[in-house]
Each structure stands twice: as structure tokens, then as C-alpha cells.
Amino acid sequence: MMNKKSCDEVYKIQKKEKIKLGIIQASILIILFALWEVLAHFEILDQFLFSRPSAIFKLFKEYLLNNELFPHIFISIYETVLGIVIGTVGGVLIASILWWSEKLAKILDPFFIVLNALPKTALVPIMIIWAGTGISGIVVVAISILLLVTIISTYNHFTNIEEEKVKMMKSFKATKFQIFTKYVLPSNIGNLLNVIKINIGMAWVGVIVGEFLVSQKGIGHLLMYGGQIFRFDMVMMWVIVLALCALIMYGIVNLIEKFVIKGRIKEK
């Protein structure tokens, strides 16, 4: 086993590598924005179509000073988080039921395959008519896109657990409920966090598409509005805001994942 000094040295090396990686990533981003600005300035890139970072920053500042920025961001984040929570929890519950009943899983398997193959975005208008034109309709669209992915991924992980451990628990007279709650479900935590990471992007797709069609607020609405009036600086600004929101949400899940991993290490 490594002593405390060795662990500290490894931790310092890992920390330095992370800092270096962060500097490289930030440098690439700065270079890309600088190149974008220069190409637009010399009209190599069409400013009408691609805008330029300085114009986007100016527009961002206007929205910020007029208090028009955060209301749109908050409504989209609210819809996205709601879609992720309901879709992920619902997906895990359905996957748990399928694990519990192998016969039911076999019956529903072809239906899941067909539903997963359907283009959900093409069915968005129908979903919104069913669920309503407000937040509920947009959230339903987000849930529809990520639900099946959550079910399939979670169920596959449930069924690919180590059978030897299950047999050992059965030898100690463990019930099916005990096997599920003490082993199957806890072993899925890491996979579940990865599913949530995937669901972040998929939920944003659902929310933006829903806001395109029915919302008068939110990032999707402003992206559509900017395109309709040919304000591509507005479109690019909200694309960047959307990317930042998704990145922050992804970062939060990463922090939770690190906390969970540290907790498991301490338990061992």
C-alpha cells in the first residue's frame, strides 16, 4: 500500500495535469474566438451569416442590462431539469420493473426497439397537442427523447451484473427485493450518472425543439425568433449561452460523480 506521502505526490501530479489540461482547453477556445473575430473583420467570414464575437458580446451586454437575459435562461433550465428528473426517475423505475419481471421484459422488448427507432422530434407537434402548449408540453417532449435511452441503458446494466454475487446472496436466503436494493441498484449508480450526462444533452434537444414551436419565452424561442428576423448575432449569442448552460449542468454531474466515487473508496 502507498503511504500518505506517496498519495499526496500522486494527487499533486494529477492536479497539475488537470490545470495543464484546463489551460490548453481555454487557450484553444480563446484562439478560436480570436480567429473568428479576425476573419469576420477582414470579411473572410460573412458577418451577416456568422456575426462576430465582439457583436455577440455587445448584444449579450444589452440583454444583461435590460434584465432580459436570465428570465429566458431560467425557464429553459427549469424545463430541462424537470425533463431530466422525471425522465431519469421514470426510466429507472420502468427498468426496475422489467428486471423484476423477465417475462414482461421479453414481451415489451420489440415495442421498445420500435419506439426507440422512431424519430421523436417528428412527433413533437402531436405530443404538444396531447400534453398542452405550455411548460408541460415542452417537458413531455424532453422526457420522450431521453426516457427510452434511460430504460434500455439501466435495464442492460441490471441484467449484466455478476451472477456469482447474486447466487451467493441467494445462498444466504436473500429475497429478490434484498438482492435488488442491496446489490443490483447500488451497482448501477455509476452507470446512472453517465446516463444523466447523456440525458442533459437529449433533454436540451427536446426543450429547444418544444420552444421552437409553442413557447414565447426561453432559449429555443429566441433562437427561432433570431432566425426569423435574420439576426444571426442573436442566434449565435443564444447558441453560446445554451452551450454554457449545458456545460455547467454537465460539470455539476461530474462533481456529484467525484463525490460518489470518493464515498465508495472510503467505504472500502
* CA atoms of 144 and 125, how far apart (whole Å): 13
CA 19 to chain centre: 25
- Mean pLDDT within 161-179: 85
pLDDT tens digits, one per residue of 123-146 = 888 888 888 878 899 999 999 999
Cell of 246: 449545458
Distance CA 10, CA 104 (A): 49
The domain defined by 52-267 folds into MetI-like fold (1.10.3720)
pLDDT of the residue at 5: 55
Residue 36 has a pLDDT of 94
| Confidence label for 74 from pLDDT (cuts 50, 70 and 90) | very high
pLDDT tens digits for range 78-122: 999 999 999 999 999 999 999 999 899 999 988 888 888 888 777
pLDDT band at 2; cut points 50, 70, 90: very low
Grid-cell match 450518472, residue found: 193
Q: What residue type is 230 in one-letter code? A: F
Q: What is the mean pLDDT of residues 223-227?
A: 91
User: What burial class does residue 237 get, using C-beta atoms within 10 Å of its C-beta: 0-12 exposed, 13-18 middle, 19+ buried?
Assistant: buried
Give the CA-trace dihedral at 126, 129, 133, 139, to 10 degrees: -50
Look at phi and psi of residue 218 and say left if phi exceeds 0, alpha if psi is from -120 to 50, else beta.
Answer: left
Whether pLDDT at 155 is above 50: yes
What integer pLDDT is reported at residue 7 of this predicted model? 58
DSSP state of 180: I
pLDDT tens column, 19-64: 898 899 999 999 999 999 999 988 888 888 888 999 999 999 999 9
Does the pLDDT at position 8 exceed 70? Answer: no
Domain boundaries, the chain: 1-45, 52-267
pLDDT score at 23: 92
